[in-house]
Amino acid sequence: MDVTGLLYSQIGYDLKDPMRALIRSTNPAYVPEGALFEIIDNTTGRVVLQKKVSYWGELWRSTWWELDFSELDCAGEYLICVKVGTDELCKSEPIKVARNLLWDETIQTVALEQLEERARLARNQRGWKDCGSEWRELNSHATCVIGLCDLMNTGFHWLSAPDVERLARQLMVGCDYIASCQDKAERIGLPKGAIIHEIPNHMLVIPGDVAQSVVALTRTSRLISEIDPERSDAYLQRATMAFEYLLHTQPAGPEGFSHLNHGAPANFQVPDEWMTRDLLMMIWGGVELWASGILQYKDAVIQMAQQVLQRQVPAERPEGDFYGHFYTFEHCDFTEKANIHHHVGHDTGGTFPSYLVGLIEMTKRWYDHPDVSRWREAIKNFAYGYFLPACSQNPFYLLPEGYFKDQGLLVFCGPWHGINTSIAFASTLATKLEAFTGDRAFRNIAVGNIQWIAGLHAGITQQSFDGCTFWRDEIEPGVALPYSQIYGIGTRYTGCWAEIKGSIPNGFSVNPQFKLAVEPTREADGPWLFTDEDWIPHSAGWVSALTMLRENKVYSDGLK
């Protein structure tokens, strides 16, 4: 039986953003040439826009067609109707269009109400209940704090004063738990500055966790310095100790390294080297410390940047059609993947996708350094050699998982569940690259990756539930339905374990949830399964992406 669906945002669209819907079908003749779509005002019934349906191409065992209505310039509620001659082929439910609609519909619930409830439900009411179970992992808390810092730093303009106070409180909930993990590390005899992964189940140190914690503690320190000066000073002192620990500790050992997820040869031996993603996070942490008045690590950060640049795929030796991305280690022949998180070990917390934010910050803060032109060139090579062309290889502009040797670019293969964290932070990265280059081409990626979470994705089918632990819904055979991936928000939304409004589940995957079972191949790649456990890093990415996109639209588009 053929699978077909009209796919569109279940929360709505922001005016002036790229606004699109898609049709998918395993029947390549489902949309005949010359088919038209209409945008109909749901109040008056008037057709306000009529255009041809555009054929996109073949991918993931389906044919895809694009419906682009970006020129729509009036807020309202609309229907999308696809016609072949006078016959109606398919029709949407009502969709909302307004300025800053995604922000207005989601930000308070996702950033504040959800986390307040998770703080209430957390073990001993310390930190957050960070996922569907009772865990409170360090990487989850650090990542969530980083997303909230973006909101606190820029988004306070668009929050009420009481909501800013609520946000500050949640920053402190997250950072206080990080502090507890650092105190526990000292009490069990670990080196000064170390931070354990989780209390009480995983009292071991994962260096990538610590690097993320440096960023989270340092940024929060600055953001609450006028609200709670004593906490602010304590967080900065803890961040400094943690960074010092990183400078003197060893990278994570081989335990917990997934050859499948990394696309590494079966006989690959993990070297005693930092992964590129760890170096990038340490760079960011060092720059944030410098911005906080801790100046002594500048040379170390610059040396780390040199290591990263040495790992960049050169244009003269591309990986397939791509260059500018990065090898995972100095001594390996496979490139870094967007998301490598699984279990507890080497790969834990690897959810930030080639996150060059620290390098971008270096070009701003140390603009007169002799190497700044090299840093800028490296960022541009990544942006135009990999990020933009790779995300443009699918109809959603979705962040791929990465390039796999002998297979090419894969989007869903590798991770042990969906990667909505990485998808959302890819939107933030796209916005930062648009600001860095001045090129609006990155807007499609920024919007496409957040709209994937808002409902403009490949669609939920009967097969999708094979990846879920709890969530089920009634879907007719042969139908792909759009669902918002934010629990409790949208015309139709997915389920999740905790059933806390504003939660975002893992999302689409090839692997069954929490299993590394499927070899990453072009044939296996596709949005086949849905994984339903909720996890706060997904929410952090959403909050960060919406905040950065709104800020960028203020300055690049003049939209206040």
Q: Answer yes or no: is 5 within a domain.
A: no
In this predicted structure, what is the pLDDT of residue 556?
85
Which are the contacts of 292, defined by CB distance < 8 A and separation ≥ 6? 218, 221, 222, 236, 239
CB 143 within 8 A of CB 131: no
Looking at the structure, tell me whether residues 80 and 119 fall in a common domain: no
Looking at the structure, tell me whether residues 361 and 422 fall in a common domain: yes
Label residue 27 by pLDDT band (50, 70, 90): very high
Label residue 386 by pLDDT band (50, 70, 90): very high
Q: Alpha-carbon distance 312 to 383, whole Å?
A: 12
Map tokens 């279990």 to a residue: 343
Provide the domain count of the chain: 2
Looking at the structure, tell me whether residues 330 and 210 fall in a common domain: yes
Average pLDDT on 526-531 reads 98
CATH number of the domain where residue 329 is located: 1.50.10.10
Q: Answer yes or no: is 177 within a domain.
A: yes
Looking at the structure, tell me whether residues 254 and 299 fall in a common domain: yes
CATH number of the domain where residue 30 is located: 2.60.40.10
Looking at the structure, tell me whether residues 75 and 111 fall in a common domain: no
CB 144 within 8 A of CB 209: no
Instruction: Give residue-wise pLDDT tens across range 240-254.
Output: 999 999 999 999 999
Q: Alpha-carbon distance 89 to 407, whole Å?
A: 36
Map tokens 């943690």 to a residue: 242
Q: Tell me: pLDDT of 559 over 80.
A: no
Q: Answer yes or no: is 3 within a domain.
A: no
By DSSP bridging, strand 87-91 and strand 76-84 are antiparallel
Q: Tell me: pLDDT of 68 over 80.
A: yes
The residue from 98, 120, 139 where one domain ends is 98
- Tell me how crowded residue 188 is: count the other CB atoms within 10 A of its CB: 10
- Tell me how crowded residue 514 is: count the other CB atoms within 10 A of its CB: 15
In this predicted structure, what is the pLDDT of residue 555?
86
Average pLDDT on 305-316 reads 98
The residue from 98, 123, 157 where one domain ends is 98
Q: Alpha-carbon distance 474 to 157, whole Å?
A: 42
Looking at the structure, tell me whether residues 105 and 93 fall in a common domain: no
> Percent of the chain, pLDDT > 70?
100
Looking at the structure, tell me whether residues 82 and 129 fall in a common domain: no
Looking at the structure, tell me whether residues 79 and 138 fall in a common domain: no
Q: Tell me: pLDDT of 133 over 90.
A: no
CB 390 within 8 A of CB 322: yes
Q: Alpha-carbon distance 176 to 42, whole Å?
A: 49
> Percent of the chain, pLDDT > 90?
98
The residue from 60, 78, 98 where one domain ends is 98
Instruction: Give residue-wise pLDDT tens across range 29-50.
Output: 999 999 999 999 999 999 999 9
The residue range of the domain holding 32 is 17-98
Q: What pTM did the predictor assign?
A: 0.98
Average pLDDT on 190-198 reads 98
Mean pLDDT of the chain: 97
Looking at the structure, tell me whether residues 117 and 212 fall in a common domain: yes
Q: Alpha-carbon distance 62 to 26, whole Å?
A: 4
Report which secondary-structure segment, H or E, holds 65: strand 62-68
Q: Alpha-carbon distance 363 to 345, whole Å?
A: 33
In this predicted structure, what is the pLDDT of residue 357?
98
Instruction: Give residue-wise pLDDT tens across range 392-442.
Output: 999 999 999 999 999 999 999 999 999 999 999 999 999 999 999 999 999
CB 115 within 8 A of CB 181: no
In this predicted structure, what is the pLDDT of residue 294?
98
Map tokens 């002192």 to a residue: 237
Looking at the structure, tell me whether residues 277 and 387 fall in a common domain: yes
CB 423 within 8 A of CB 507: yes
Closest by CA position to 439, among listed 447, 431, 428: 431
Question: Which ranges of 249-356 does DSSP label H, i.e. alpha helix?
Answer: 259-262, 276-291, 298-310
End-to-end CA distance of the chain: 48
For residue 22, give the amino acid letter: L
Q: Tell me: pLDDT of 59 over 90.
A: yes
Looking at the structure, tell me whether residues 43 and 84 fall in a common domain: yes
Nearest-5° angle of CA 222, CA 223, CA 225?
A: 65
